[in-house]
Amino acid sequence: MKTQRIALFLLAIFILSGVAVYFKSCQKPSETTEITNTIDLVPAPTFNQDSAYAFIDQQVKFGPRVPNLASHKACGDWLVAKLKQFGAEVETQDFVAYTYDGKKLNARNIIGSINAKASKRILLTAHWDSRSVADKDKKDPNLPIDGANDGGSGVGVLLEIARAIQSAQNKPNVGVDIILFDAEDTGEPESFTGEHKATSWCLGSQYWATHKHKENYTAYYGILLDMVGAKGATFPHEGTSMQYAPMIVRNIWDIGNQLGYSNYFKDEDGGGLTDDHTAVNEIGKIQMIDIVELRVNDANTFGAYHHTHGDNMSVIDKTTLKAVGQTVLQVLYQE
C-alpha cells in the first residue's frame, strides 16, 4: 500500500507538472524575448565605437573609393598602413577585373594577418570600395557615393577589432586574417536594361577565392561584415549563410543576444544574397557567414540610403557599430 501511495503521489505530481507546462506554453511570449543558448563568456577586450566611427569618417574623407581613382589608391595605402600599425602582417593582392560593361579596373585586395603562426584561423572580411554611381538616387545618379555604411562601416569595425586585439593583454587563441576585398560594388545599375548577373558583383572576393594569398589557405570559418553601421539596422539570418554554415550563424547570434544586442541580431529569416561570402563558400570552400543589414518586410531592404548620396556619415550610428564589433570580438575570444 505504501508503494502504491508513492506511485499515486508521483503520478499526481507528473500530471500537475504537465498541466503547468501546458498553460505556460500557451502564454503569449513577450515581444522582447529572444531564445538563445547560454554560453559561458570569456573575458574579451572592449570594442571602442568612437574609434570605429573615426575610421569610417577617415575613409569617407578620402573621397570615392572607386578603382582607378586617386582617392581609391590613397585610401588603400592608408588601410595598409593602419593594419601594419595594429600589428598585422600585411600583403596586397593587385588584380585586374572588368565590370559588366567591359570597363577595366585596377583593383587591390588588402590582407592583414594577426598571430600568423597560429594554425587555427578565423577569417574576417569586408569590402573597402564604394559604389561608382548613385543609381537609386534621383539627384546626380551617375556620380559616386560616399559609401559610409556600404563599405566603410565593415572596414571601420575590422580596423577597430585589430586595434583592440593589439592593445589587449590577453590575446585570442586563434589567428585572425582580415581581408578587405576590392571591387565589390561593381554590378549593374538599377537602370541597366540588359541581363543582370550575380558575377558582376564581388569581383575582389571572386579573384581571391581562385587566387588565395597563401597556397592551400583555409580557415576554421569566416565572417563577412557588410553595411553594419546604420541607425536602426537589423541583422537577420542571411540565406546563403544558413545554407553553408547554419551552426556558425546560430553561435554568433547567440553570443550577440547574450551580450545584450538582441535588437540587432534577429533570429529570423532575412533571405539570401550574393555577397563576398558567396565566392568564399562556393569557390574558396571556406564556411563564411554574412552579418548584413536586411530590413525584413520593408520595401527598402538595405535601408533608404542604399546606393544613394544619403549613404554618408549621417547614417552611421555608434551603438550599431558597438553591437557588431563587440559581438565579433567576443566570438574570436570564445575560440
Domain limits, the chain: 35-334
Helices 246-258/318-334 angle, 10° precision: 120
| Ordered DSSP codes for 161-181 | HHHHHHH-SS--SSEEEEEEE
The arithmetic mean of pLDDT across residues 192-206, rounded, is 93
pLDDT in tens, 37-46: 788 999 999 9
What pLDDT does 37 receive?
A: 72
Q: What is the pLDDT of residue 36?
A: 52
Averaged confidence pLDDT in the chain: 91
Band (pLDDT 50/70/90 cuts) for residue 8 is: very low
In this structure, are residues 288 and 245 in contact, taking their beta carbons and an 8 Å threshold?
A: yes
Which residue has better confidence, 32 or 268?
268
Does 34 score more than 50 pLDDT?
no
The arrangement of secondary structure in 35-334, i.e. its CATH architecture, is 3-Layer(aba) Sandwich (3.40)
Which amino acid is it at 186? T
Contacts of 223 (CB under 8 A, 6+ apart): 122, 123, 124, 125, 252, 288, 289, 291, 328, 331
pLDDT single digits (tens) 238-296: 999 999 999 999 999 999 999 999 999 999 999 999 999 999 999 999 999 999 999 98
Find all residues with CB under 8 Å of 96, minimum gap 6, and list them. 104, 105, 106, 107
